C-alpha cells in the first residue's frame, strides 16, 4: 500500500472498526 498505509488504517478504524470486511486484501483496523 506504500505511503497510503497509514491513511488506510485510519479509514479502516473509522468505517470498519470491527473488521467486518476481512475477506479481501485486508488492512487491519489498527497498526500491529
Q: What is the pLDDT of residues 1-32, one digit of tens each?
A: 899 999 999 998 999 888 888 887 788 877 65
Structure confidence at residue 31 (pLDDT)? 62
b (16+ CB within 10 A) / e for 1-32: eeeeeeeebeebeeeeeeeeeeeeeebebeee
pTM surpassing 0.75? no
Amino acid at each position: 500500500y506504500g505511503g497510503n498505509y497509514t491513511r488506510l488504517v485510519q479509514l479502516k478504524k473509522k468505517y470498519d472498526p470491527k473488521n467486518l470486511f476481512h475477506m479481501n486484501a485486508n488492512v487491519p483496523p489498527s497498526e500491529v
